[in-house]
Structure 1
């Protein structure tokens, strides 16, 4: 009881950082609208900031894990905070310099920070919670705050820009930049004064003796790393393709604004799901949670595929208007309802996959976390495949791609997550 109380402050700081990961990452998309206006850029150029942010994961995932092994959670987190402060600061300076290239540089550097912090936050919350169900619960709490902060970004940017869609500039959203800088500074200062357990940091003696094993030596970890890539691809591909489907005059037949609000409701349900996951995480194992989420997700995807798009239903959607935030009703193909509900399933998957994959890894946990971050690139690969299928055989048929992804996650939760390499020394 006392040990958990002593870790309350670092737990809060880690949850704040979990939220900042989503806040800074999701800032790239609405910022695309701003930079398009300021620099008269194309849609492609407007999304380069988002691309630069995620590209950093491919470069920094494994090195960040190595860094965590060598200097521990606390120092690695502080480095990530400093890098994030610099990245957001450069994006702020790009508004003063009125330079698109400076903005891209800031987004890329911020991406390095997000990758480093992801590598730190996931295993640290699990460690501070003592692993098992309590560790899973803390991961779900962090994921909930992550989702809340991510949802807030487009709303904040929208309120700052207002109804003006032309002649907007980066300086118009400086308040969002200052918010990120302030939280980074606060967490960095507090974290520098608190004690953090370092169960997986290598000592000098350990470094002299090279192990013949690594995280890759564990079958359940390898399958879990693949699972993370698959999960991110499903999470991104389901609402992304849904938006295209609904806005297509020959398919969903909705106007672009309504299509966007329906797809956005998917992310709102992810927030709801993470609240539920956080509340039951101490009582339900990661395995049970992942089995249930992937099985229900498969069922919903299947129903979306086989249901006729001519059947419609009214669903409540999350809306943002000039008068503020509200819920409204939208008449959509029943397929859309099934797909939006998948958000409840994907909401709890990250923590479940992570906990199952690192179970029993011991000293290899830190490097495993870095590998996980590299696999985030699956969020770009699977949606690309899905939309290639959609171009060929139609939107609903393309959902066999996330259906198969969910089937893989079900296999992993049932069979693939078992540690069959218990003979490997991990201390």
Structure 2
């Protein structure tokens, strides 16, 4: 193979890894908005898909690290993509199978087979994203040749990851619109097909190129001995707990906010029309601010220590969340048109209902009762009323508390890197094993939001954020005290 061919293959591999980096966020962030559909059918199921997705990390974290050593980066990545394709396909099956097959009941409510199929698919997708998380960062570093170039590729991949996290709730919100008892998984299957197509194409590309395997175990090589566990280091043990809680914070804040915005009952934010789409647009800003936060952190990290950053963002996040809790939901602001345009959205709704584009545009520019009367049958078939159409043209008002919760994205953006860096400080040869344990603790992104969702059902959406404050308080403690290495007597070389 010539040098040009090798370089071309490397470029293709880098592009594929970038897509996979984005797919990690895309697949992970499908769970929360999909929960709007299942939560409308089962009050307790809103965060179950998210929990199953993250629960897989508990089982796959350490094995994924072992796979890198035994079968290498390439085969681990291929396995992850195949598993992800299967998981997404099973989620798709939940839209066509089992809606009429009752299996058991929870609290007197029958649970149907299609929910179980969806949860199985979400669990399998969790295996996929866990393996991809283990592969993509070091693989991009390898393809970049390490050093500054490798780090640059990782940062670029992280940017795409944040971008995908920003766009996913927007896409789902556009497809769902207002969640009703008629909204089903079949309404969002295009997203599943797009994701499956990306996995399939990436699988073909990665299988056709050569990837360096410096960590692949060689036959006959002696295995390195470890006299202690990484958890023997106090700052690592406390850091593992911090990672568990952090992922719960990162996922729980926007997920519960999405439910709050989409709920048209008295418990919700008071948005009666297109709540899911508006909520998706607002939540997208949270993920966008995470992207901004990561960029800003990269600019100041040379001068401001990781510990100082963690202490600062934990403190600010606590203040923002407290303000959100105590701000009455009747205090709000009009959503800017660049975030959500009610005129454009109403036009799309009318067009999807079967009304010609020209007529829909004419109506939104000059709403008339005559138009609504003439198209009453079409609107009724699309489960809309003249009142709901007129209401959708109004600029929606969102509780001010949502703004403070969205701003938390600036804070959560730098927490993962900060906790990880502090927790592996001084571990030496134990760092790799600690990384596998950290990957297991990503399960917190499923467990803690699920608990928060249960609390919101009993005490209200905003009251459930007291759990988030408690978790943020632990991160503040870790930054102040818990991150100090008090086990320097343990040999690490």
- TM exceeds 0.5? yes
Determine the structure 2 residue equivalent to 1:54: 54
Which residue of the partner structure matches residue 382 of structure 1?
A: 448
The aligned residue for residue 120 of structure 1 is: 135
Equivalent residue, structure 2, for 1:319: 340
Is 1:78 the counterpart of 2:78 in the alignment? yes
Mean CA deviation greater in 215-224 or 167-176: 167-176
**1:33-78 Cα deviation digits (max 9, x unpaired):** 67899xxx64556865444333322322222233234334333222
Q: Which moved more, 1:251-260 or 1:129-138?
A: 129-138
Question: Which runs of no fewer than 5 residues in structure 1 stay unpaired?
Answer: none
Structure 2: gaps of 5 or more residues: 1-6, 99-112, 350-393
- Structure 1 match to 2:16: 13
* In 1, Cα distance between equivalents of 2:161 and 2:240: 21
Does structure 2 conserve the Cα–Cα contact (< 8 Å) formed by 1:315 and 1:337? no
2:408 is matched with: 342
Contact 2:165/2:284 (CA < 8 Å) preserved in 1? no
* Alignment size in residue pairs: 418
C-alpha separation in 1, matches of 2:38 and 2:470: 37
Per-residue Cα deviation, 1:235-269 (whole angstroms, up to 9, x for no partner): 23334444566658767751355765357524423
How many angstroms apart in 2 are the aligned matches of 1:109 and 1:389? 27
Describe how 1:15-414 pairs up with structure 2 within 5 A.
15-31=18-34, 42=42, 44=44, 49-92=49-92, 100=114, 102-124=117-139, 141-157=156-172, 173-192=188-207, 193-196=209-212, 198=214, 203=218, 208-242=223-257, 254-255=270-271, 257=273, 260=276, 261-262=278-279, 265-278=282-295, 280-281=297-298, 283-284=300-301, 287=306, 288-305=308-325, 307=327, 311-314=331-334, 316=336, 318-319=339-340, 321-323=345-347, 331-383=397-449, 386=452, 398-414=464-480
Q: Confirm or deny: 8 A CA contact 2:22 2:161 kept in the other structure.
A: yes
Structure 1 CA distance, aligned partners of 2:454 and 2:45?
Answer: 22
Name whichever of 154-163 and 105-114 sits farther off: 154-163
Equivalent-residue separation in structure 2 for 1:5 and 1:277 (angstroms): 30
* Structure 1, 182-191 or 78-87: larger mean CA deviation: 182-191
How big is the shift at 1:304?
A: 3.2
Cα separation, 2, equivalents of 1:333 and 1:145: 30
| Distance in 1 separating the partners of 2:452 and 2:428 | 37
Deviation of residue 20 (structure 1)? Answer: 0.9
- Tell me the distance in 2 between the aligned counterparts of 1:117 and 1:416: 30
1:384-408 C-alpha deviation (Å, 9 max, x unpaired): 5556666777765554432232232
Q: Cα–Cα, structure 1 residues 68 and 240, in superposed 2: closer, same or farther, change >3 Å?
A: same
Contact residue 81 and residue 203 of structure 2 kept, 8 A: yes
Q: 1:89, 1:106 within 8 Å by CA — same for their partners in 2?
A: yes
SS at match of 2:226: coil
Q: Is the 8 A contact 2:28 2:129 kept in 1?
A: yes
TM-score by length of 1: 0.76
User: CA contact under 8 A between 1:271 and 1:347: conserved in structure 2?
Assistant: no
CA shift, 1:413, in A, is: 3.4
Q: Is the 8 A contact 1:95 1:170 kept in 2?
A: yes
Q: Distance in 1 between matches of 2:178 and 2:456?
A: 33
Query: Cα deviations across residues 58-115 of structure 1 (Å, max 9, x unaligned)?
Result: 3222222332343343332222122112222344456666673555443332221122
Alignment RMSD: 4.4
